[in-house]
Amino acid sequence: MSVVIAASPTTYIWLIAIALFIASIGNPIYQIANQTALIEAADASIRGSVMATRFGLVQTASIVGIAVGGLLTKEYGPFAAYGVLGIGLVLLAMYAIAAGRSTTNPLHGAAYEEATNLASASAANGHPDGATAGAGRQTDDEPKTREPGLHQAKT
């Protein structure tokens, strides 16, 4: 959106309004997803500290962003400020893509990742049901257990 706003001449104020409206719809979606992921990833004993830290970081980043945006707008105009923001966001996205994802998904944990990798490896070796010739298979004598997913309660 920032690149659209930066590239728009001042006569296209309606295009700027549409771009800002679309961006304002996406922000709450991101915030809810971010908070939910943090709550589910944090241990219950430190959940309050994690959320307080997140809140402090978000508020600090908002203050710094407003200050930098104000200085850029004062010195170079609003279109230059949006241009810098757009370029910065593109560079940040490129860095995030290059860095890749972490090796362990914090929402599921190492056990989930290990089971997923085992199933992928066994499928590649010709075992369509995810079995690796007895390794890691559950027998009928063992109790059937399952790690709860994101929205399943532990019983």
Q: Cα angle vertex 21, ends 27, 82, to 5°?
A: 80
- pLDDT higher for 13 or 42? 42
Q: Please tell me the distance from the alpha carbon of residue 104 to that of residue 106, in angstroms, as a whole number.
A: 6
What pLDDT shows up at residue 129? 55
What pLDDT shows up at residue 102? 55
Of 56, 40, 66, nearest in space to 149 by CA: 40
Place of tokens 């004062």: 74
The β-bridge partners of 135 are 132
Inter-residue contact 8 to 15 (CB < 8 Å): yes
pTM: 0.49
State residue 132 phi and psi, 5-degree precision: -115, 60
Amino acid at 112: Y
What pLDDT shows up at residue 155? 47
Q: Please tell me the distance from the alpha carbon of residue 116 to that of residue 44, in angstroms, as a whole number.
A: 25
What pLDDT shows up at residue 55? 94
Of the pLDDT bands very low, low, confident and very high (cuts 50, 70, 90), residue 58 is very high
Please determine, for residue 29, whether its predicted confidence score (pLDDT) is greater than 50: yes
**Where in the chain are the domains?**
2-91, 100-130
- CB-based burial of residue 82 (10 Å sphere; 0-12 exposed, 13-18 middle, 19+ buried)? buried
- What is the average pLDDT across 105-130? 66
pLDDT tens across 35-52, in order? 999 999 889 999 999 999
Q: Indicate the range of 19-23, 58-62, 151-155 predicted with least confidence.
A: 151-155
- pLDDT higher for 135 or 20? 20
Place of tokens 């790690």: 147
